[in-house]
């Protein structure tokens, strides 16, 4: 008997320990989580069966381990580096591209192809995550993105015209593979390993991305003045490559993988509630891309500023975006319906572009103080749109009964990464085209109208959902399957009243 016990203890000691998983319990009401002893044997690839939202008691007592803290810091640094790469060239690249013979529309494509690449590659990465560990994707993604950034700096010696434009497009396109890998893997780890902290950690990741967007334009403009075109890209690329080295040292490596029930992006998109939240994120990044590609050109029309000063204006916007994300993350964890944060963000953004133009009809002329005020409002607005939509989108995956496994987490992360990048790709292209043909002030009207349309769509959809809740059957939206409608009775059909919801385990509550 003693020999068997000792043998069992030795076998348990040999089991691999997943450094991320925390103490959990199992309840009869469906809020199910597993014990820490069971979780110790889980690897990264099959944590989905082990990780669920803890109870209120365990949630209040749960603490992050050192390994978890190191992982969060590394993910934050990775997002910081990608934020720098995203915004680095905003203060000086449009002018340099024009000197190389590129038009507004062409350098708009150079801005936008990075995001277009993420749209294409994020779903591919999401499909690979059940087979390839998120850690490897983060490491390789940082090396790819950093290497391409260094090579982009070498375009200083490129011949003008077609060669410059084609080379820039190719490098930004390859760089997007690295960005897609890091973004998708990062969001997957947040959703699966930290289900009780989703909004807060997503806001933290976005805050670090925002800090990168702050540092990027300011540092880019300053390094451009101190050196030349290549210096900002060499420095940013080196920092990103350093992140890849740190990831190799900090993130644990998984070696065993289990097959899980697969979830496709088309399946997720068939649910309009999820699609709406992705559409909100697309719109938010569309406006970010528009702003990055057109603001410097707009400022040059009424004043002359150094690239470092223009970078400071982007810095002000990014500062409010980064700091505001903590407020939006706290708010998203507290309110029942995160769409209210999205609506507030759209209202602030509409005000921002009405001032930045300024819109015709306002008794104002373009000046730098209006631009600063508008960029501050825009930075705050973006946080509400992104944090609110991502948090609400994750809630919807649970409400609609999708399988709670790594495949679902990976695909919802890939879906939002694609949404972010779709907007980021289209924004610079349409922004460059509209400003080139109609001017900045008229182009801002298109942005304002887009904001108002999104507000109307969100309000109408939430009104429809509330009316369906108040119907004669008092249907439970957390167990509702939106596959069909009985046209005669006007009641949702094909639904199951599930007694429990696990996975992200959002607490049952009204939407409004």
Instruction: Write the pLDDT tens digit of every residue in 322-372.
Output: 788 778 878 887 888 889 999 999 999 999 999 998 887 788 888 899 999
Residue with tokens 């013979």: 101
Mean pLDDT for 446-452 is 93
Q: How confident is the model at residue 156 (pLDDT cuts 50, 70, 90)?
A: confident
83, pLDDT greater than 50: yes
Mean pLDDT for 33-60 is 41
Identify the pLDDT of residue 125. 82
3-state secondary structure of 100: coil
Residue 289 makes CB contacts below 8 A (sequence gap 6+) with 111, 112, 115, 423, 424, 425, 426, 427, 428, 429, 431
Q: How confident is the model at residue 447 (pLDDT cuts 50, 70, 90)?
A: very high
CA triplet 427, 429, 435: central angle to 5 degrees? 90
User: How far from 480 is each of 266, 398, 445, CA to CA, in Å?
Assistant: 18, 11, 39
Contact between 58 and 34 under an 8 Å Cβ cutoff? The reply is no
476, pLDDT greater than 70: no
CA–CA gap between residue 130 and residue 112 (Å, rounded): 29
Which spans in 129-229 are helix H? 134-153, 162-193, 198-226
455, pLDDT greater than 60: yes
Instruction: Write the pLDDT tens digit of every residue in 417-444.
Output: 778 778 877 888 888 888 888 889 889 9
Mean pLDDT for 258-284 is 78
276, pLDDT greater than 60: yes
pLDDT-wise least confident of 69-83, 211-225, 461-475: 461-475
Look at 452 and 415; give whichever has higher pLDDT: 452
Phi-psi region of 252 (alpha: psi -120 to 50; beta: other; left: phi over 0): beta
Identify the pLDDT of residue 322. 76
Identify the pLDDT of residue 482. 35
19, pLDDT greater than 50: no
Residue with tokens 């925002």: 210
**Tokens encoding 66:** 């050192």
Identify the pLDDT of residue 501. 28
Mean pLDDT for 33-45 is 41
pLDDT-wise least confident of 38-47, 113-122, 148-157: 38-47
Look at 196 and 164; give whichever has higher pLDDT: 164
Identify the pLDDT of residue 260. 52
Residue 251 makes CB contacts below 8 A (sequence gap 6+) with 71, 74, 135, 138, 139
Look at 272 and 48; give whichever has higher pLDDT: 272
Mean pLDDT for 381-408 is 80
Mind listing the domains of the chain with CATH numbers? 63-464 (1.20.1250.20)
Q: How confident is the model at residue 374 (pLDDT cuts 50, 70, 90)?
A: very high
393, pLDDT greater than 90: no
7, pLDDT greater than 60: no
185, pLDDT greater than 80: yes
Residue 84 makes CB contacts below 8 A (sequence gap 6+) with 212, 213, 215, 216, 219, 236, 239, 240
Q: How confident is the model at residue 242 (pLDDT cuts 50, 70, 90)?
A: very high
Closest CA relative to residue 203, chosen from 334, 330, 118: 330
Looking at the chain, the number of H-run helices and the number of E-run strands are 17, 2
Q: How confident is the model at residue 404 (pLDDT cuts 50, 70, 90)?
A: low
221, pLDDT greater than 80: yes
Q: How confident is the model at residue 469 (pLDDT cuts 50, 70, 90)?
A: low
CA–CA gap between residue 65 and residue 38 (Å, rounded): 17
């Amino acid at each position: 008997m003693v020999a068997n016990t000792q043998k069992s203890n030795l076998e348990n000691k040999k089991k691999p320990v997943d450094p991320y998983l925390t103490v959990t319990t199992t309840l009869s009401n469906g809020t199910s989580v597993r014990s820490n002893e069971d979780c110790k044997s889980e690897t990264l690839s099959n944590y989905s069966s082990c990780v669920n939202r803890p109870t209120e008691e365990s949630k209040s007592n749960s603490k992050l381990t050192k390994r978890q803290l190191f992982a969060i810091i590394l993910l934050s640094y990775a997002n910081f580096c990608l934020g720098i790469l995203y915004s680095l060239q905003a203060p000086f690249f449009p002018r340099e591209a024009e000197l190389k013979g590129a038009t507004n529309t062409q350098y708009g494509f150079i801005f936008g192809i990075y995001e277009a690449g993420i749209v294409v590659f994020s779903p591919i990465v999401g499909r690979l995550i059940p087979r390839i560990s998120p850690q490897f994707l983060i490491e390789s993604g940082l090396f790819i993105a950093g290497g391409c950034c260094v090579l982009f700096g070498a375009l200083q010696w490129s011949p003008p015209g077609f060669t410059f434009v084609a080379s820039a497009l190719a490098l930004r396109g390859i760089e997007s593979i690295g960005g897609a890998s890091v973004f998708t893997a990062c969001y997957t780890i947040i959703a699966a390993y930290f289900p009780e902290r989703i909004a807060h950690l997503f806001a933290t990741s976005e805050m670090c991305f925002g800090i990168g967007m702050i540092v990027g334009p300011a540092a880019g403009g300053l390094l451009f003045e101190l050196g030349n075109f290549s210096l900002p890209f060499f420095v940013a690329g080196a920092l990103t490559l350093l992140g890849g080295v740190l990831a190799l040292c900090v993130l644990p490596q998984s070696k065993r993988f289990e097959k899980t029930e697969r979830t496709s992006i088309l399946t997720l998109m068939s649910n309009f509630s999820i699609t709406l939240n992705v559409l909100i994120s697309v719109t938010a990044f569309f406006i970010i891309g528009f702003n990055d590609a057109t603001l410097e050109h707009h400022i040059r029309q009424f004043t002359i500023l150094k690239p470092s000063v223009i970078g400071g204006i982007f810095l002000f916007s990014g500062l409010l975006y980064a700091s505001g994300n903590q407020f939006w993350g706290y708010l998203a964890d507290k309110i029942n319906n995160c769409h209210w944060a999205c609506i507030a963000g759209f209202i602030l953004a509409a005000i921002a572009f009405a001032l930045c133009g300024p819109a015709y009809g306002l008794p104002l002329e373009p000046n730098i103080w209006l631009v600063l005020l508008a960029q501050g409002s825009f930075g705050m607005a973006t946080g509400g749109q992104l944090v609110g939509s991502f948090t609400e989108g994750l809630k919807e995956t649970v409400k609609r009964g999708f399988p709670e496994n790594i495949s679902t987490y990976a695909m919802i992360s890939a879906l939002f990464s694609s949404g972010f990048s779709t907007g980021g790709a289209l924004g610079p292209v349409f922004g460059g085209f509209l400003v080139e043909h109609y001017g900045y002030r008229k182009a801002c009207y298109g942005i304002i109208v887009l904001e108002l349309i999104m507000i109307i769509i969100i309000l109408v959809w939430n009104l429809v959902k509330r009316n369906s809740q108040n119907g004669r059957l008092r249907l439970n939206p957390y167990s509702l399957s939106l596959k069909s409608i009985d046209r005669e009775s006007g009641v949702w059909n094909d639904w199951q009243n599930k007694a429990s919801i696990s996975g992200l385990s959002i607490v049952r509550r009204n939407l409004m």
